[in-house]
């Protein structure tokens, strides 16, 4: 059974990580949505966690309740309709509709903090250097935690409630 994390990007290539439970089975770079869908179709993950907002605030402006709540808890998420985030949000929402697996919204840094992990620990454990690949792995770890039932939701965002795999 596989779990995927997608660190969606607009200008740079998108980073993708696929875990077989706790084992890293592949890392990939995608230049467009077609590439992302092809990589995912090879592995048919049970859950795909996307690092991008997958909904918009009421009225299409400002913050969603999730951003307000996470800011209150000390986390910083960018507003989904601010500047380039608008295009990332729109792309994430459209991509999520085309993915055949269950899709969840994640924020890798917030997930890592919730698991008590630092980016460097994940990078060392999985042998990667790219921050984007670390984010994709963190998203995939969140997808696995979600599948196992070890998560909480803050609005549409899924957060793991315990450390997994390392």
Give 27-49 as a 3 state SS string: EEEECCHHHHHHHHHHHCCCEEE
Mean of pLDDT over the chain: 95
Q: Taking a C-beta distance cutoff of 8 angstroms, is the pair 164, 150 a contact?
A: yes
77-81, 112-116, 117-121: which has the minimum mean pLDDT?
77-81
CA dist 126 and 133 (Å) reads: 10
Res. 18: pLDDT tops 90: yes
Which of the two residues, 15 and 71, has the higher pLDDT score?
15
Beta strands per DSSP E along 31-138: 47-50, 102-105
Q: Taking a C-beta distance cutoff of 8 angstroms, is the pair 140, 7 a contact?
A: no
Element at 5 (helix H, strand E) = strand 2-7
The confidence score (pLDDT) of residue 5 equals: 98
Res. 150: pLDDT tops 90: yes
Q: What is the mean pLDDT of residues 78-106?
A: 93
The confidence score (pLDDT) of residue 60 equals: 79
Return the CATH number of the domain spanning residue range 2-160: 3.30.420.140
Q: Taking a C-beta distance cutoff of 8 angstroms, is the pair 128, 137 a contact?
A: yes
**Which pLDDT tens digit goes with each residue over 68-81?**
888 888 888 887 88
Report strand pairing: 23-30 vs 14-20. Answer: antiparallel
């Amino acid at each position: 059974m596989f779990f995927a994390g997608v660190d969606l990007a607009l200008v740079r290539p998108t980073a993708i990580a696929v875990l077989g439970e706790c084992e890293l089975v592949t890392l990939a770079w995608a230049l467009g949505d077609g590439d992302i869908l092809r990589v995912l179709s090879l592995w048919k993950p049970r859950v795909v966690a996307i690092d991008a907002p997958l909904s918009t605030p009421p009225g299409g402006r400002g913050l969603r309740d999730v951003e307000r709540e996470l800011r209150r808890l000390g986390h910083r998420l960018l507003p989904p309709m601010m500047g380039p985030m608008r295009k990332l949000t729109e792309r994430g929402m459209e991509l999520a509709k085309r993915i055949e697996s269950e899709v969840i919204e994640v924020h890798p840094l917030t997930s890592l903090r919730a698991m008590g992990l630092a980016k460097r620990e994940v990078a060392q454990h999985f042998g990667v250097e790219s921050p984007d690949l670390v984010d994709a792995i963190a998203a995939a770890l969140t997808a696995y935690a979600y599948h196992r039932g070890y998560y909480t939701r803050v609005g549409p965002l899924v957060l793991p409630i315990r450390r997994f795999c390392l």
